[in-house]
Amino acid sequence: MENVYLGAAYYPELWDNQEQEKDIARMKEMGLNAVRIGEFAWDRMEPREGEFHFGWLKDIVEKLYNSGISAILCTPSATPPRWLLTKYPETRMVTHELVHVDVSSRCHTCKTSPVMREKNRIIVTKLAETFAEMPGVLGWQIDNEIYPYNEGCFCEKCKAAFRVWLKEKFGTIDALNRAWGMARWSLTYASFEDVEPPYPGQWRHPSLRKAWRDFQYAQVKSYVDEQAGILHAHGCRNIGTNMMQHNSMSYYRINEKLDVVQYNHYEPASALADTAFGFDFVRCVKDKPFWVMETQAGWNGSEFAEGGYRPQGACYANAMLPFARGAEVNLFWLFRAHPNGHEMAHGALFSPAGREYRVSEEVRSAAEDLKKCKEFLCNSCIRSSIALHYSSTALNSFESAPLVKGFAYRKELIARYYGAFRHYNIDVIDTQHALDGYKVVLSPFLSCADENGLRERITQWVEAGGTWIAGPMTDIMDADVRRYTSAPFSFLEELAGVYVKYQKPIPNDVFRAQWKKDGDCRISMWYDAFEPKEGTESLAHYTSSEFAPYSVITERRVGKGRVILVGSVLSYGDILRLVGLPPVAEASENVVLTERTGKESGIIAVETGNREGFVRLDGQYTDLLTGISCTGLVRLAPYQVLVLRR
């Protein structure tokens, strides 16, 4: 990494040349050095079919470049012009009521339509030919927040493509019927032509629901890959597609042919510490610096404002935290608020009248501080000994069949596990990620553990000396949302050396447990009761009469490593007890710590709770933002950031 970029999304098509000049001057004065442009401007680029106008866009890129500001260009396929959608109605998404969507918003195209694909290819090719070699273009964003909105497109072309996709996956309709258990309720399909999408409003089969989403995601991936291929063929670099926080559309798969992982997040200020979860995830997808393409400046909004108040200092901390956790780019949405339209109430760095908001000063301060620590950030990186699994398959499986009422996979993973590691370097990984270099891997709620070769790879990793902390709700179903029938797990029972006596997915305040050697072991949500086999040790056991004396946590040595099987959700303290590794430093729970190593090394501390915090240092450090020498107990003011070089 050679630089860090702080900026915002900008829509020059809304402003005349005079206003553009004023805005660029404002950007420069604030210290911004990157803007994202062009994502919704197809109509300005091609006002009539086959008539292309890029002069205005070249002009703004040149103006930005001359002011020291890099441009990230976007392909405009999220918003085809009205003439295209009207002339070629098949390009419009069809709702589950089997009605073509109105031309009134964005992201409303059919990803299967050959016409839509062809029109995309034409506009992307023209953009690539015009801008591939142009100075000042830092990178590219494909489409915008690409996702199967409203359960995807239900047109006849999509339904036909879905049936072909199912046939390629299962081979025969009998195989599909067996995998989905369609004999129950007499739902057996006679042929793939019988398969209809899971129309919302009905009690929909979990396996069908997941398959429909998987198909829609495959169409999106093809949509993105096609555009990326064109851009790459013309020599464009730093190509990505901006995605939202969830991993339902697998980040690993969608980014296979892309250069940089791009990420949007809009959590409220109260969840600032939890935003690091997304950073620790997207950093690992390609094991390289990531780009935050959108985050809120002041508040969210559409025709009305929402998203909660951001206290003074929260925007500054939100600007700095991604860089602490491995970002190269951080862009706010947006630079100047829209004077009209669908999102006119959304927060921004400047009002429609071009006047600053309070948060503008915080972003200016962040830009100044990033200059002070740029060399440290560029010459250091994040290395983690701990990994936490966050699975696309698990997310989609639990979305279809949560098993525990109200269970929300991502939310529970952050609240009940990730939150324990605010003072640790931790990688958040999907199941295809390599395990080399980790000492401990945690896999709670990993419903399907037998995918992407994980079963074989994690067994070998444990045998080589790793510690795998697995469960609860791990290895309990396959990728088709089917529970195992020969045993409660596909392989964990054997690997962990236990017999599963009971499984109860019933949250309650009745079941209790205790560590074998000392103290209560706090448990919740899900309850597996284990009988340890020879060679397996019980670390904690139930004390409730219904489950006593069965184990809730067991440990088995496997080669040089060990498998720790956990049958319930534990407290933070109990999780860290099992992990057994020290934090970066001692700190208050409202402070997020990141250790950075490389040519330069040190610790970045970010206060996230809008109250005083502390970090206790074990050596001599210099805070690059203030120049102050620090050692021992160091206090942080609300939303303060310390960049401590060792």
The dihedral of CA 134, 252, 320, 624: what is its sign?
A: negative
Q: What are phi and psi of 362, to 5 degrees?
A: -70, -40
Condensed to tens digits (0 to 9), the pLDDT of residues 560-595 reads 999 999 999 999 999 999 999 999 999 999 999 999
Instruction: Encode burial over 584-608: b for 16+ CB neighbours within 10 A, e otherwise.
Output: bbebbebbbbbbbeeebbbbbbbbb
Cβ neighbours around 194 below 10 Å, total:
11
Examine the domain organization and report whether 297 and 420 are in the same domain: no
606-638 pLDDT, tens digit each: 999 999 999 999 999 999 999 999 999 999 999
The rounded mean pLDDT for the chain is 96
CA distance 245 to 267: 9
Give domain status of residue 381, yes or no: no
Question: In the predicted model, what is the mean pLDDT of residues 475-502?
Answer: 97
484 pLDDT tier (thresholds 50, 70, 90): very high
Mean pLDDT of 275-288: 98
Q: Do 460 and 321 reside in the same domain of the chain?
A: no
Per-residue pLDDT at 393 exceeds 90? yes
pLDDT value of position 355: 97
Containing 388, the helix (H) or strand (E) segment is strand 386-389
Scanning the structure block, which residue is given the tokens 């219904």? 546
Burial class (CB in 10 A: 0-12, 13-18, 19+), 438: buried
The pLDDT of residue 573 is 97
Give the Cα-Cα-Cα angle 630, 634, 639 (nearest 5 degrees): 115
Does residue 189 form part of some domain?
no
Distance from C-alpha of 471 to C-alpha of 553, rounded to nearest angstrom: 9
Q: Are residues 118 and 238 located together in one domain of the fold?
A: yes
Do the Cβ atoms of 420 and 460 come closer than 8 Å? Answer: no
User: What is the model's pLDDT at position 81?
Assistant: 97
Cα 156 to Cα 168: distance, rounded to the nearest angstrom: 18
Mean pLDDT over residues 366-378, rounded? 98
Q: What is the per-residue pLDDT for 1?
A: 85
Taking 80 as the threshold, does the pLDDT of residue 221 lie above it?
yes
* 3 state SS of 561: strand
Task: With a cut of 80, say whether residue 381 has pLDDT above it.
Answer: yes
Say yes or no: 10 and 118 in one domain.
Answer: yes
CB of 538 within 8 A of CB of 553? yes
| Same domain, yes or no: 54 and 137 | yes
**Which of 579, 601, 619 is the C-terminal boundary of a domain?**
579
Instruction: Return the HEC string of 502-522.
Output: EEECCCCCCCCEEECCCCECC
What contacts 243, CB < 8 A, 6 or more positions away? 145, 146, 147, 249, 251, 254, 262, 263, 264
Tell me the whole-structure pTM to 2 decimals. Answer: 0.97
**Are residues 329 and 394 both part of a single domain?**
no
Q: Which of 603, 611, 607 is nearest to 631 (CA)?
A: 603
pLDDT > 90? residue 100: no
Of the three residues 563, 579, 595, the one that is the final residue of a domain is 579
Q: Is residue 370 part of a domain?
A: no
Residue 411 pLDDT greater than 80, yes or no: yes
Asked if residue 336 and residue 393 are part of one domain, the reply reads no
Task: Please choose, from the candidates 29, 27, 23, the residue with its C-alpha nearest in 3D space to the C-alpha of residue 7.
Answer: 27
Predicted confidence band at 504 (pLDDT cuts at 50, 70, 90)? very high
pLDDT at 194: 97
Residue 65 is assigned to a structural domain of this protein: yes
CA-wise closest residue to 443 among 283, 333, 538, 563: 563
By C-alpha distance, which of 65, 75, 48 is closest to 130?
A: 75
Over range 21-35, report the average pLDDT: 98
Q: What is the pLDDT of residue 201?
A: 84
Q: Calculate ∠ Cα 395-244-413, nearest 5°.
A: 40
Q: Which domain range does residue 499 map to?
A: 386-579
Closest of 449, 484, 400 to residue 207, by C-alpha: 400
DSSP assignment letter at 101 = P
Whether 140 maps to a domain, the answer reads yes
Say what the pLDDT of residue 402 is.
97
Domain tally, the chain: 2
Shared domain for 478 and 394, answered yes or no, is yes
What is the band of 98 on the pLDDT scale with cuts at 50, 70, 90? confident
CATH number at residue 87: 3.20.20.80
Is 336 found in the same domain as 390?
Answer: no
Cβ neighbourhood burial of 105 (10 Å; 0-12, 13-18, 19+)? exposed
Domain-located, residue 56? yes
Average pLDDT over residues 338-358: 94
Quote the pLDDT of residue 487: 96
User: What pLDDT score does 454 carry?
Assistant: 98
Are 283 and 392 found together in one domain? no
Q: What is the pLDDT of residue 262?
A: 98
Query: What does the block give as tokens for 431?
Result: 């199941």
pLDDT on residue 546:
84
Per-residue model confidence as pLDDT tens digits over 589-603: 999 999 999 999 999
- Burial annotation 515-554 (CB, 10 A radius, 16+ → b, else e): beeeeebebebbbbbbebeeebebbbbbeeeebeebbbbb
pLDDT per residue as tens digits for the range 522-534 = 999 999 999 999 9
Q: What is the reported pLDDT for 422?
A: 98
Least trusted range by pLDDT, from 34-43, 162-171, 539-548: 539-548
pLDDT in tens, 422-472: 999 999 999 999 999 999 999 999 999 999 999 999 999 999 999 999 999
Residue 434 resides in a domain: yes
Average pLDDT over residues 270-289: 97
641-645 and 602-607 beta bridge pairing: antiparallel
In a domain, 12, yes or no: yes
Whether 541 shows a pLDDT value over 90: the answer reads yes
CATH of the domain at 450: 3.40.50.880
Using left for φ > 0, alpha for ψ between -120 and 50, and beta otherwise, residue 475 falls in: left
| C-alpha distances in Å from residue 446, one per residue of 388, 418, 472 | 10, 14, 8
What's the confidence (pLDDT) of residue 423? 98
In this structure, what token pair is assigned to residue 205?
């089969």
Question: What was the pLDDT predicted at 542?
Answer: 97
Distance of CA 300 to the CA centre of its chain: 19
Residue where a domain terminates, one of 517, 546, 579:
579
308 pLDDT exceeds 80? no
- Among residues 613, 640, 611, the alpha carbon closest in space to that of 628 is found at 640
Nearest to 531 by CA among 541, 520, 516: 541
Mean pLDDT of 148-176: 96
Whether residue 400 contacts residue 256, with contact meaning beta carbons closer than 8 Å, is answered with: no
- Mean pLDDT confidence for 268-277: 95
% of the chain residues with pLDDT over 70: 100
DSSP H or E stretch at residue 300: strand 300-301
Q: Are residues 393 and 346 in the same domain?
A: no
User: Are residues 417 and 565 both part of a single domain?
Assistant: yes
Q: 481, exposed or middle or buried, with CB in 10 Å at 0-12, 13-18, 19+? A: buried
Mean pLDDT within 310-314: 94
Q: How many CB atoms lie within 10 A of CB 311?
A: 14
pLDDT of residue 594: 98
Query: pLDDT tens, 284-304?
Result: 999 999 999 999 998 889 899
What are the residues whose beta carbons fall under 8 Å from the beta carbon of 338, sequence distance 6 or more?
A: 11, 14, 344, 346, 352
Rounded to whole angstroms, what are the CA distances from 196 to 189, 202, 203, 211, 348? 10, 12, 14, 11, 43
